[in-house]
Amino acid sequence: MGKTKDSKKNIKKVNKKNRTEKTRSVYIVISKTSTLPSNVIKMWTKEPYAHTSLALDIELREMYSFARKKLHNPFDCGFISEDITTGVFGRDVDTVCRVSRLPVTTMQYKKLIKNLDKFKANKAAYKYNYLGIFGIMFNKAVERKYNYFCSQFVFYILQKSGIKMFNKKPGLVRPEDFRTWNELEVIYEGKLNKYREFLSQKKVREKETKDVKTAGDADRQIAATAVV
């Protein structure tokens, strides 16, 4: 038998609901390394974290930000793909971080991927917004095309993807805004190089107790119980 008109309408409603419900996740990582710029930012802001990154998976294997492109050159900065085991993160074993989960809808997630692809396709054109850092000191947003600093980039790309956040211009957003944003579910707080070990141990314990049945449940369970 073919599908009736009513059943087709119901399928469309279900599909629309799935697109608008928060069924996907992205991850906000705020961190503090031992580099000179990071130390200066911490001294100025009196905040525990100085850098912001956006990750697409809970293990932080696909993570993006604006920072130095080469380990020993703090002045050549731009849009980069970050790895927590190499580069500055790999070198600075005492890097501390907070990893938080942000639920998003399927539609928002698709927009986010599309917007990230634009950054990837024009990677060489993007520069670090040094003037924007000075602008924040005087509470003045300095926003120029293709120029971002880390927290400005994360806020901009989330906002561009239809994710509502705090009422600020991208050029005034700091890591502390993500630290105090109550829409985020904190998963972990501690040394960055211990994060995946923590995840592995947590998943083993959950598997043994059979408390978690799906990947989405795993994210929520970790977020609810796992700040260290």
pLDDT at 4 (0 to 100): 60
d(CA 182, CA 180): 6
Q: Considering the entire predicted model, what is its pTM?
A: 0.81
Q: pLDDT category, 158, cuts 50, 70, 90?
A: very high
Residue 140 belongs to some domain of the structure: yes
Q: Please indicate, yes or no, if residue 48 is contained in any of the structural domains.
A: yes
Domain of residue 186: give its range: 21-225
For residue 14, being part of any structural domain is answered with: no
Provide the pLDDT confidence category of residue 62 given band limits of 50, 70 and 90.
very high
Answer whether residue 150 is part of any domain: yes
Question: What is the DSSP code (8-state) at residue 3?
Answer: P
- Residue 13 in any domain: the answer is no
* Residues 156, 143: Cα–Cα separation, whole Å: 11
State the Cα–Cα distance between residues 116 and 114, nearest whole angstrom: 5
Q: What is the pLDDT of residues 161-202, one digit of tens each?
A: 999 998 999 999 999 999 999 999 999 999 999 999 999 988
Rounded Cα–Cα distance for residues 142 and 140 (Å): 6
pLDDT tier, 203 (very low <50, low <70, confident <90, very high otherwise): confident
**Helix, strand, or coil (residue 189):** strand
Residue-wise pLDDT for 105-146, tens only, equals 999 999 999 999 999 999 999 999 999 998 998 899 999 999
DSSP codes of every residue in 52-86: EEEESSTT-SSEEEEEEEETTEEEEEEEEEE-TTS
What is the per-residue pLDDT for 74? 81
Residue 16 lies in a domain: no
Chain segment 19-34, per-residue pLDDT in tens: 578 889 999 999 999 8
Residue 105 covered by a domain:
yes
Least confident of 1-10, 17-26, 97-106, 158-167: 1-10
- Do 150 and 52 meet the contact criterion of CB atoms below 8 Å apart? yes
- Judge contact between 108 and 162, C-beta under 8 A: yes
Q: What is the CATH number of the domain that holds 84?
A: 3.90.1720.10
Q: For position 50, what pLDDT does the model report?
A: 93
Q: What is the tally of structural domains in the chain?
A: 1
Establish if 56 belongs to a structural domain: yes
Type of residue found at 112: L
